[in-house]
Amino acid sequence: MHVFYTPDINSDQYILNEEESRHCSKVLRLNVNDIIHLIDGKGGLYQAQINDVSKKHVHLQIITKQFEYGKRNHHLHIAIAPTKNIDRLEWFLEKATEIGIDEITPIICDRSERKIVKEERLEKVITSAVKQSLTAYHPKLNEAVSYTDFLKQNFLGEKLIAHCMDGEKSYINQQVDIHQSYLILIGPEGDFSPIELDLALHNGYKPVTLGNTRLRTETAALAACFEVNYINR
Amino acid sequence: MHVFYTPDINSDQYILNEEESRHCSKVLRLNVNDIIHLIDGKGGLYQAQINDVSKKHVHLQIITKQFEYGKRNHHLHIAIAPTKNIDRLEWFLEKATEIGIDEITPIICDRSERKIVKEERLEKVITSAVKQSLTAYHPKLNEAVSYTDFLKQNFLGEKLIAHCMDGEKSYINQQVDIHQSYLILIGPEGDFSPIELDLALHNGYKPVTLGNTRLRTETAALAACFEVNYINR
């Protein structure tokens, strides 16, 4: 099953861009009358037939449309401090997309060794996971923002912060209702600073634990992602 | 907190091997009277003080011992078809070790593109995750074995097979009791063959689903690992 990401689809005809066309005709060796699948990233899953293969473009005729494909029953937003080794963040984005996530924001914290992320590269990782896992909804990647600025943003829903410091903590499932909007903060290697934790608590974030073992940043973020999807399934 | 893996520890004195000694004295720049932690992989967590640093060896005096550190309340064995790209299997081993797993067996299936794995390299990945996540129990990595031979092995506990074919399936938590021994089969890219599935079902394996999205092999294995740990926590 060949899947292409076509966010700008808006009629029964579609022309793949040069890169996708090359992949379709040269790499996959697909030709006229072959059937492929399209995903628009907004819940639309399409079946399309190849009408014409020119040098640079593959022309498609949409055969079937399915809307709200794999619609989720909750909204999960994870704000994560980018890992020092960017591969680990990219790995998280791939896995979270497979398992189910709606929104990701890289947050720059006091102890973040990495202060800059290339959103374009991360966007590509998410899109390829979207195609691979046949997720009709494309997770939204926000621009990196400082931790303090992020906490100033309004959010209506369950706000949680996962940290490793002492103090009272519960499991996510003990803190939240199902079918809600969730926002979970995941800190950098070395955890949030005590000041950052206080700031979150004063902003209505509930402290949660993800278990007794020491988890890397990207593992903690994925654990939170698994748990929220689990309690909502 | 500096952690060293010392499976052969058996007294109140211990001498780090050359490699670990170099890491301890040259890389970490630790010296006499500094405190480090040791893990024996069998549940033992030790606090040790450096009492001599020679050219090739660091001599330690054990100060405190803790047994059954982080003892688990269940036993999880995942048999997984090695991924074509070995990084993906190594990634699974690292993450599963962080989250909690007891035993892993690479199984070679009909559709396995990779027929050979280097256990030594995989062992290293597990050990470094053990140290990083402070897991006093070292997961056991078994030698790769063919799928059919693996199914001939005896196992006392809950036997599950995760597959993507049609047919009746339940979630893991609907199929098992808590605090048990669990064995879960995870297939290769392209899934198990129908013959392999039948063979498992005839051998008492229960079919399970890990959700509605298409998961890569290593993601499916980690999802199973998360779920079993979640229902047992």
Tell me what ipTM this predicted complex has: 0.93
CA distance B200 to B78: 14
**Structure confidence at residue B55 (pLDDT):** 82
Q: Does A108 touch chain B (CB under 8 A)?
A: no
Fold that domain A75-231 belongs to in CATH: Alpha/beta knot (3.40.1280)
Model pTM score: 0.94
CA angle A109, A112, A118 (to 5 degrees): 100
pLDDT tens digits, A34-84: 999 999 999 999 999 999 998 899 999 999 999 999 999 999 999 999 999
The pairing of beta strand B13-15 with beta strand B58-66: antiparallel
Domain ranges of chain B: 3-66, 75-231
For chain B, the average pLDDT equals 96
The pairing of beta strand B140-141 with beta strand B58-66: unpaired
Residue B131: pLDDT band (50, 70, 90) is: very high
Q: Do domains B3-66 and B75-231 have the same CATH topology?
A: no
Residue B1: pLDDT band (50, 70, 90) is: confident
In chain A, whose CA is at the least distance from the CA of B98? Answer: A215
Q: Does B35 touch chain A (CB under 8 A)?
A: no
Q: How many helices (H) and strands (E) does chain A have?
A: 7, 13
Burial label for A20, CB within 10 Å (0-12, 13-18, 19+), is middle
**Structure confidence at residue B85 (pLDDT):** 96
CB interface of A with B, residues 182-221, below 8 Å: 211-216, 219
Mutation target for B interface from A216, A217, A218: give the one with most B CBs within 10 A: A216
Mean pLDDT of B114-139: 95
Q: How far is B55 from chain A (nearest CA, A)?
A: 32
In chain B, whose CA is at the least distance from the CA of A218? Answer: B95
Within 13 Å, how many C-alpha atoms sit on residue A130's CB side? 28
Residue B213: pLDDT band (50, 70, 90) is: confident
Residues of B in contact with A226 (CB under 8 A): 223, 226-227, 230
Distance (Å) of CA A133 to CA A34, A137, A138, B83: 21, 11, 11, 16
**Structure confidence at residue B174 (pLDDT):** 96
Q: How far apart are the first and last CA of chain A?
A: 26
CA distance A151 to A153: 5
**Structure confidence at residue A1 (pLDDT):** 83
Q: Does B66 touch chain A (CB under 8 A)?
A: no
Q: How far is A214 from chain B (nearest CA, A)?
A: 5
Mean pLDDT of B139-146: 98
Q: Which tokens sit at A26? A: 């040269």
Q: Which residues of chain A have pLDDT under 50?
A: none
| Backbone Cα Rg of chain B | 20
**Structure confidence at residue A27 (pLDDT):** 92
Q: How far is B156 from chain A (nearest CA, A)?
A: 27
Residue B23: pLDDT band (50, 70, 90) is: very high
Residues of A in contact with B99 (CB under 8 A): 211, 213, 215, 219, 223
Nearest to A140 by CA among A217, A200, A72, A207: A72
Residues of A in contact with B230 (CB under 8 A): 226-227, 230
In chain A, whose CA is at the least distance from the CA of B100? Answer: A213
Residue B71: pLDDT band (50, 70, 90) is: very high
Q: Which one of 2.40.240.20, 3.30.930.10, 2.50.20.10, 3.10.105.10 gives the CATH number of domain A3-66?
A: 2.40.240.20
Nearest to B54 by CA among B7, B4, B17: B17
Mean pLDDT of B47-74: 95
**Structure confidence at residue B222 (pLDDT):** 98
Residue B31: pLDDT band (50, 70, 90) is: very high
